[in-house]
Amino acid sequence: MPTPQEPQKKGPTTEKTKSSKGEKRMDLKWSEADEAFREEVRTFLKENLTDDLKEAGRLMTSVYADHEASMNWQRILAKKGWAAPAWPKEHGGCAWTASQRYIFSRERVAAGAPPLSPMGIQMCAPALIEFGTPQQKAHFLPRMLSGEHFWCQGYSEPQSGSDLASMQMSATEDGNDLICNGSKIWATHANVANWIFCLVRTSRESKPQLGITFLLIDMTTPGVSVQPIVMSSGEHIQNQVFFDNVRVPKANVIGKLGDGWTVAKYLLEFERGGVAYTPEFHLMLDRLRTFAHSVPGESTPRLIDCPVFAAKLAAASVRVETLEVYELRTMSAISAGGSPGASASVMKILGTELHQHITELWLEAAGPYGHAYQPHAARPGGPVTLPHASGTQAGPLAAVTAPLRYLNDRAGSIYAGSNEIQRNILAKAALDLN
């Protein structure tokens, strides 16, 4: 039997059984190796999660954790060799199966550990591993793991968001360099990143997808500047990045000049469908149930006793369970050697819209405490720049953080390709509608 660290040929298996009433059903079966791996993960989390890291995970207000806590957690994982679950072992990764990655994700969330920033390890790295040269892999991948290089993404532009192929940032050849001019917008954590992976236009072609190049740019290069974009929650997480005659070596091109669209599409599969949403959803709903069952006061009824809210909570639970089955099916296909394909778009749509729905339920449950702006009670994913009070929060902590998560998650159905675009992709790729 393989050890938990060894690659397995199969992930979770399914067996057709019959219930006592005779109807067929599908049961998920984890292998013995998967069960052993789960125990190994639980032991590691118990031994390595500090109180500060747990607080950072528990008090998140967006999909991004407190930056300092996230980087501390990355260093702990890197020391263990667990910072890059999906990377091949030859590049410092774990080479975990899809089922092991799912198990780790669920146990991490349950234990309260903060997530790592996805930009480098989960997004840029797969593109590097697939399309990069040996020299590029040897230079960039170890620095991604250690956190020496912290990455942000340069895809969207002020006039080119969901229509990514219309991007205009130029990169003109000049000997062994490219001279870059233009700007990128909605660049998460560009204010703390020291590297950015960008799509730039190196030529004008009849088809807009042609002439685009995938380029890695050092953020400390002269001509790079960053301006903050403050979210409605008051947090500085998003940014606009400007490039004014920025000189970048051609050696930083991933793939070939003009072939960046191929690299970008490959990367987007990991951005849209490279994560499991439901482990976090289970935790959010468990906390919401606990809050709804609490007794707020002698004369105030419990929220769970309201049949309308109880029905909403039950319906959300059904949606989470349904999405989890879809994720597990996709995971099983990946374990068998497949790729997410159109499933990446399905999971992005269902995951982000369900996440928004759960934050709406939390805001409803928070009641009057959801009207107050109290970011000081949380651990936001970036500096809070809007004026706010400090000190003791007013109301239960779970209710105080509800409006912050609600405001942050309005962007969920837009980032990584808006959900309208994802539906267009599915119409063409899955339904053959042109």
What are the catalytic residues? 271
Record the tokens describing residue 193, joined without a space.
């990143």
**Cα–chain center distance at 362:** 21
Structure-token pair, residue 278: 């439901």
What are the structure tokens assigned to 165, written together? 């192929």
Q: Is 316 left (phi over 0), alpha (psi -120 to 50) or beta?
A: alpha
DSSP structure class, residue 215: E
Query: In 10 A of CB 182, how many CB atoms?
Result: 21
3-class state of residue 357 by DSSP: helix
Task: Give the whole-angstrom CA distance, residue 23 versus residue 83.
Answer: 43
Q: How far lies 180's CA from each of 132, 202, 217, 286, in Å?
A: 21, 9, 10, 48
Rounded to the nearest 10 degrees, how much is the dihedral formed by the CA atoms of 118, 121, 127, 129?
Answer: -170
Instruction: Give every CB contact of residue 285 below 8 A, 6+ residues apart in sequence.
Output: 313, 316, 317, 320, 358
Residue ranges of alpha helices (H) inside 4-154 are 32-48, 51-58, 67-80, 98-111, 125-131, 134-146
Q: Is the dihedral of CA 238, 242, 247, 250 positive or negative?
A: positive
SS (H, E, C) 303-321: HHHCHHHHHHHHHHHHHHH
- At 374, is the secondary structure helix, strand, or coil? coil
- Residue 229: name the closest of 183, 197, 269, 289 by CA: 183
- Give the integer Cα–Cα distance in Å for 297 and 291: 13
Residue the block writes with tokens 């934050």: 359
Please report where in the chains the tokens 């031994």 appear, as a residue.
Answer: 47
278-293 and 98-111 helices, crossing angle to 10° = 30
Q: Compute how many other C-beta atoms are within 10 angstroms of the C-beta atom of residue 135.
A: 9
